[in-house]
Amino acid sequence: MKNLLILAAICLFNCPAHPEAARRPNILWLVGENISHDLSCYGGKNVHTPNLDRLAAEGVRFTNAFSTNPACAPSRSAFMLGMYQTTTDTHHMRSHRSDDFRLPQGVRPMTHRLQDAGYLTANIKTIGSHSVGTGKLDLNFVNEGPIYQSDDWSALKLKKPFFAQINSHEVEYDIYDRQSAKKQRVEWVGEREHIKHATPENVTPPPYYPDHPLVREEWARYLNSISGMDLRIGRVLDQLRRDGLEDDTIIFFFADNGRLEPRGIHWCYDCGLRVPLIIRWPGNFPPPAGCATGTVNKQIVSLIDVTATTLDLAGIAKPALMQGRVILGPHAESPRPFAFAARDRIDETVQRIRSVHDERYHYIRTLTQGPTFVSLNRYKEKCFPILPLMRELQAKGQLTGAPLALMQRKGPCEELYDTSADPHEISDLIASSKPEHRQALQRLSAALDTWMVETGDRGAIPEDPGIIETLEKEMQIWFGTPSWAK
């Protein structure tokens, strides 16, 4: 009889009508594209990000979060699965778009697991008449069925709990057509004044670029685009509040990879991998340990940890195969000692690069032969005017110091940087004889070797040459080939 009463009590508590059983948080991912620690709350200069600054002041700001790849498709594939792209064969840029590839057995998109648990999943593009997101997926798997159930913001008010993702526009300006970018910026002003805080005169570009008017103009453009992104995110946060959803919704803000600049996106430098991560806890749920208002968290986080944490906060046990770690809540796992990243083919450009960060040092290993930064990538040559400028200045003998060293680097090679003392990664310590540098090199190199074996790194498996030939033809059609490469 006693056992029957206990069973009845358990059934009653887990009945959907029970108020505690029904209370699961909504979860909202706000995903920025191609930015690093350039928000005001991260110390960014000449930017205006009041909405994200407020989100950080009300939540937890992580300072050592890293993407697993410095480009969108492999990185997004990784954090949608909670697994390294090098493990799941999704590591090459825009791969498996037209073949019969399926994910390994037991590996599933995170949204499918949330749907199984009763969550509505949505990838939002508009709120009313306002564009707030791109609806971007850009995943290196396309045969797993629909990733989301809805793109309708109004559906969120009707179905709880929900998981929604909003992908910001590509740092708010269109690098393919700067005239379109100007037109888009005018549209922002129609509702709220947008002041350009960054100008070519007041910015200080990173020292791995030459001090040149074009570099300053591009850097100001990048910073102003972040201010524009903040406006759009503010619109989302305002609507969440007006709809009465704010106090029931855990908010994650992070970027898919690092900066939209020649040395950032596509490259395993800190500026291509280090991303902002902010988590704000809702008022109607008791915050877990480590989630106090205004907290700054310095633990090392990989973006695949956001996936594992999201599932755990939704009441879903982390799958056995998942490589991400839970970073918040009662099931939080031990912090990572290292954050690993990998870059493989990007469009038609074949580079195999591996990277590992600890709390201070960053080790990069380039495994492919030949030029690194100056290797031909037609998209970068066409859409990033700093790169052809640097080629021109080098040809004239007008590059020196860090910019020249960047242009001259060739693989295979190793690099080691002290990101605390040298955040721009200018001073390569690979040949340093100081004991602390030799120890850091040995520690990080061994950690990377172990990670590549333990995670089944597929980067050494060559792609079909026909894939690269097809991509070269596509890139030629889209962006042309610079005269120096003909």
Would you state the structure tokens that stand for residue 188, as one six-digit string? 């922002």
Mean pLDDT in residue range 237-261: 97
The pLDDT of residue 13 is: 31
Backbone angles phi, psi at 169, to 5 degrees: -65, 155
Cα 266 from Cα 197, distance rounded (Å): 27
* Token reading at 476: 């030629």
- At 279 the pLDDT is 98
Give the pLDDT of residue 20: 37
Residue keyed to tokens 């700001």: 61
**Domain residue spans in the chain?**
25-336, 353-485
**pLDDT level of residue 181 (50, 70, 90 thresholds):** very low
CATH architecture of 25-336: 3-Layer(aba) Sandwich (3.40)
Read off the pLDDT of each residue in 195-212 and give the average, rounded to a whole number: 93
Whether the bond into 161 is cis, omega within 30 of 0: yes
pLDDT of residue 208: 98
Predicted confidence (pLDDT) at residue 37 exceeds the cutoff of 80? yes
pLDDT at 195: 59
pLDDT at 210: 98
Q: Judging by DSSP bridges, how do beta strands 249-255 and 26-32 pair with one another?
A: parallel
* pLDDT reported for residue 2: 38
Closest CA to 362 of 445, 257, 290: 445
Res 179 pLDDT > 60: no
Query: Is pLDDT at 180 greater than 90 in this prediction?
Result: no
CB 149 within 8 A of CB 122: yes
Up-side HSE of residue 66: CA atoms within 13 Å toward CB?
A: 29
| 278 three-state secondary structure | strand
What's the whole-number mean pLDDT along residues 326-347? 96
The pLDDT, as a whole number, for residue 177 is: 52
Q: 19: pLDDT confidence band, cut at 50, 70 and 90?
A: very low
| Least confidently predicted of 7-11, 72-76, 78-82 | 7-11
Q: Note the pLDDT of residue 314.
A: 97
Residue owning tokens 């009845």: 8
pLDDT of residue 15: 35
Across the range 237-258, mean pLDDT stands at 97
Burial of 219 (0-12, 13-18, 19+ CB in 10 A): buried
- Got the DSSP string for 224-283? HHHHHHHHHHHHHHHHHHHTT-GGGEEEEEEESSS-SSTTTTTS-SHHHHEEEEEEE--T
Element holding 479 (H helix, E strand)? helix 465-479
Q: Which one has a higher pLDDT value, 441 or 171?
A: 441
Residue 239 has pLDDT above 70, yes or no: yes
pLDDT beyond 90 at 361: yes
Strand-pair partners of 131 = 126
Residue 142: pLDDT over 90? yes
226-256 CB burial, b ≥16 within 10 A, e <16: bbbbbbbbbbbbebbeeeebbebbbbbbbbb
| Mean predicted confidence (pLDDT) in 452-468 | 96
pLDDT of amino acid 260: 94
pLDDT of residue 420: 97
AA identity, residue 156 = L
The mean pLDDT value for 21-38 works out to 90
- DSSP classification of residue 418: E
Q: Are 317 and 43 in contact (CB under 8 A)?
A: no
At 299 the three-state DSSP class reads strand
Q: Look-up: residue for tokens 């989302």?
A: 236
The tens digit of pLDDT for each residue in 388-401 reads 999 999 999 999 99
Confidence of residue 344 (pLDDT cuts 50, 70, 90): very high
How much is the pLDDT for 188?
41
- For residue 1, is pLDDT > 50? no
Mean pLDDT of the chain: 91
Express each pLDDT in 399-451 by its tens digit. 999 999 999 999 999 999 999 999 999 999 999 999 999 999 999 999 999 99
- Cα–Cα distance measured from residue 92 to residue 366, given in angstroms and rounded to the nearest whole number: 16
pLDDT at 189 over 50: no
Local confidence band at 353 (pLDDT 50, 70, 90 cut-offs)? very high
The overall longest dimension of the chain from CA atoms, in Å, is 91
Distance CA 277, CA 64 (A): 9
In whole angstroms, what is the distance from residue 80 CA to residue 82 CA? 6
Ordered DSSP codes for 121-146: EEEEEEETTEE--------S---S--
User: Which parts of 189-294 are beta strand (E)?
Assistant: 249-255, 274-280
Render pLDDT for 87-135 as a digit per residue (tens, 0 to 9): 999 999 999 999 999 999 999 999 999 999 999 999 999 998 888 999 9
Instruction: Report the residue count for the chain.
Output: 486
Percentage of the chain modeled with pLDDT above 90: 86
